[in-house]
Amino acid sequence: MCKNYNLKDKIQKEGKVIGSDIIKVDSFLNHCIDVSLFDGMGQELSEIFKEDKVDKILTVEASGIAVACAAARYMGYPDVVFAKKALPSTMTGEFYGSEAKSFTKGTTSVFRVAKEFINTGENVLIIDDFLANGAAANALADIVEQAGAVVSGIGIAIEKGFQGGRKSLEARGYKVRALATIEKIEDGKIIFK
């Protein structure tokens, strides 16, 4: 593992609790990126999924991209595909789409992946920075299934274990692993599982 890699420690020291259910980790993950820490996360994700077939990694913009790329480096460089939340003028072909409501932003967006970038039968590992109610990961899984591809597993940096995300994904039969699972927030304190 990379030198000084300790995600939970970093969350504990720098995570800011907002209200009863939002944890702000802008200083190293969602706005400012600690690339060395991300290398550690990538290495740990590659360890976790080393027995699983992974032809491709699927994530969603924006923070997920950095986690997915870090993992790809330790997994023999599978391509990373990131779903888009807005429709750029260059996305002219057919795409798979699935709606997801952002827990922190409160907005609903359509995740889109061009059909040419996921092939039938491919093994696709889903990676994202956060797992809360599972909307994003479920939308990514929908896209993999629409393509007739296989979900290898779901790898998450930070899971809020007190929300329903994991349950909804495990109910669909997926292997879900998180690098740090927060069991609860109590009196503004973060308590890990």
Quick one: which of 84, 132, 136, 147 contacts its own copies (CB under 8 A)? 84
Tokens of 136: 């994003």
- d(CA 33, CA 177) in angstroms, rounded, equals 21
Contact with its own copies (CB under 8 A) among 9, 47, 79, 186:
79
Size, binding site for its own copies by CB under 8 A: 43
Cβ-proximal residues to 11 (8 Å cutoff; 6+ apart), any chain: 23, 25, 158, 180, 182, 190
Asked if residues 17 and 185 have their Cβ atoms less than 8 Å apart, the reply is: yes
Indicate the helix (H) or strand (E) that contains 100: strand 95-101
Q: Which of 1, 9, 13, 18 binds its own copies (CB under 8 A)?
A: 18
Query: Of the ranges 72-80, 133-141, 156-164, 181-189, which one interacts with its own copies (CB under 8 A)?
Result: 72-80
Q: Which residues, in sequence order, are CB contacts of 72 under 8 Å at separation 6+?
A: 42, 57, 78, 79, 80
128 sits near its own copies (criterion: CB under 8 A): no
Contact flag: residue 27 with its own copies (CB under 8 A): yes
Q: Contact residues for its own copies (CB under 8 A)?
A: 18, 22, 24, 26-27, 30-36, 38-39, 61-63, 65-66, 68-70, 72-73, 77, 79-82, 84, 86, 88-92, 104-106, 113-114, 116-117
